[in-house]
Amino acid sequence: MEAPPFKERFMRVWEFEDNKAAPADLVREQDFILRVRRMQRHGSPSLVLNFALSAIEPLAKNAKDREAVHKKLQAVAQASSGVFYEMSNGDVFIVWERAGDARIMASRSIDNAMPEYAEMADKFLLTYRMPENYALLRERTNYYVDLAHSVAVLRGDTDKVDESSGHLTAKNVDQIDHLLNEIDVRKYGRTQTMYKDKGGVWEPIAEEYFISFEDLRRERFPKVEVVRSEHFFFAICARLDQRLLTLLTDSYDSIAGRRINLNLSIATITGSIFAQFVRRIPKNAREAIAFEIHRADILQDFSLTLSAIEIIRREGFKVFIDSVTPNMTPYVNFEKFPVDGIKVNASKDRVLQFEDPIVRKAVEALPKEKLMFFRCDNEKALTIGRNMGVKFFQGWMVDDLAKGVRKT
């Protein structure tokens, strides 16, 4: 099949000028980039198939099976005058110059190399025609460059995470990522209820499921500082969210019939983890599940965010924008996003921002049926929210009120 546009728009760009070499540790990706540039310069019609084997869980987990598929795809390429390119993560490109029908070449490749996965070809196969699809193919190639570069940077030594100290670095992130593969993260699983305020009566409306990074950090790598390393912190959070999604896919019965919210990074949406979760959840049960997209993803790329929202809603789930700070609201039209909820941070560190009349006006303009104050850990959060007409709240202070531990 031809590459769906929305898949391509999710690929982060890692562009190199034509007169510069890619990093030395990206030999496979650099070699393919040179081939793509050469095809573009010559302008001759070519066919490129991208086999994203990492999207097939059994192949992603089993190197031996993946290598067997590689050998079969290599044989197909050789027999049909194609050129085989393996990426650092195990995905494959095959290039045919002056090739014929894309469907025939795709079917021949899949039937010979991995017939058992033929029915899920739309999950792992992307098709490009050169030179007309050059921009899309370069963007896809840049994705692999970005991925390989990240892995190359992260790999370094085998020091244990709990021996690390100081600010988060790429090295720490790699160590933590390895740790997450070795430990049972379920012990760090947490939930927090979201409520609707009915005149002081707190009606539970959903539960947010998450893995507590702070508890994990405190127990496993207490010397690592995360406050000033937001980029790496988000990378770890995304990994934790993926682990939770995998756990819930394997144990759907534990959440069946419940209204829950889950954090989700945009990068996860195009991967196999999200696809597997979607397949596991019955269509008639998806409306009860909402995915929360962090505002950092929105600021990075509006178009990617809109595409992500489109995918999530099309699959039948709800969407929330998470972690909006009050002082962002005058500058970003959050009400224009087709989402079901907008979560505004009302913690004691943020609540003073509501004193700015411009900020207050912008928050008040958000649709009340979508607006939720979260991280409510102070009385002002509740007072200001109620004065604004906010009906939905989340935070430990609200938990105490709902349990009768505190009184308003």
pLDDT at 30 over 60: yes
- Please give the Cα distance from 50 to 86 (Å, whole number): 10
CB atoms within 10 A of CB 251: 12
Instruction: Supply the DSSP symbol for 55.
Output: G
123 sits in which H/E element: helix 121-124
SS3 109: helix
CB 90 within 8 A of CB 53: yes
pLDDT, tens only, 349-400:
999 999 999 999 999 999 999 999 999 999 999 999 999 999 999 999 999 9
Q: Which residue carries 């760009």 as its tokens?
A: 13
Confidence of residue 21 (pLDDT cuts 50, 70, 90): very low
Average pLDDT, integer, range 172-194: 80
Domains 5-154 and 166-403 share a fold: no
CB atoms within 10 A of CB 16: 15
Confidence of residue 9 (pLDDT cuts 50, 70, 90): very low
Alpha helices, H only, 222-356: 230-250, 266-269, 272-280, 295-300, 302-314
CB 385 within 8 A of CB 363: no
By percentage, how much of the chain surpasses pLDDT 70?
84
- Please give the Cα distance from 157 to 159 (Å, whole number): 6
pLDDT at 148 over 90: no
Helix pair 230-250, 213-220: axis angle to 10 deg: 110
Average pLDDT, integer, range 166-187: 71
pLDDT, tens only, 75-114:
999 988 899 999 988 899 999 987 668 889 999 999 999 9
The first and second tokens of residue 57, run together, are: 């869980």
pLDDT, tens only, 256-311:
999 999 999 888 887 789 999 999 999 999 999 999 999 888 877 778 888 889 99
Res 170: pLDDT: 63
The mean-pLDDT minimum among 146-150, 164-168, 266-270, 324-328 falls in: 164-168
pLDDT at 337 over 60: yes
Of 132, 137, 141, residue with least CA distance to 45: 132
Res 128: pLDDT: 92
- Please give the Cα distance from 110 to 51 (Å, whole number): 9
- Please give the Cα distance from 74 to 293 (Å, whole number): 40
pLDDT, tens only, 209-250:
999 888 888 877 777 776 545 667 777 888 889 889 999 999
Confidence of residue 60 (pLDDT cuts 50, 70, 90): confident
The first and second tokens of residue 240, run together, are: 């934790």
Res 27: pLDDT: 67
- Please give the Cα distance from 364 to 356 (Å, whole number): 12
> What DSSP letter does each residue of 316-371 carry, written as one string?
T-EEEEEEE-GGGTTTS-GGGS--SEEEEE-STTTGGGGGSHHHHHHHHTS-TTTE
pLDDT at 3 over 70: no
Where along the chain do its domains lie?
A: 5-154, 166-403
Chain mean position to CA 203? 31
- Please give the Cα distance from 360 to 385 (Å, whole number): 10
CB atoms within 10 A of CB 287: 12
User: Which CA distances in Å does 45 have to 90, 95, 126, 306, 360?
Assistant: 26, 11, 17, 33, 57
User: Which CA distances in Å does 73 have to 130, 157, 388?
Assistant: 21, 33, 61
The mean-pLDDT minimum among 8-17, 199-208, 374-383 falls in: 8-17
CB 357 within 8 A of CB 328: no
Of 8, 55, 56, 50, residue with least CA distance to 29: 50
CATH number of 5-154: 3.30.70
Res 28: pLDDT: 77
Instruction: Supply the DSSP symbol for 12.
Output: P
Residues 6+ away with beta carbon under 8 Å from 381? 346, 347, 348, 351, 373, 375, 393, 395, 397
What's this model's pTM, rounded to 2 decimal places? 0.60
Q: Average model confidence (pLDDT) for the chain?
A: 83
For the segment(s) 166-403, the CATH number from 3.20.20.450, 1.10.472.10, 3.60.70.12, 3.30.1360.30 is 3.20.20.450
5 prior amide bond cis, ω within 30? no
CB 139 within 8 A of CB 8: yes
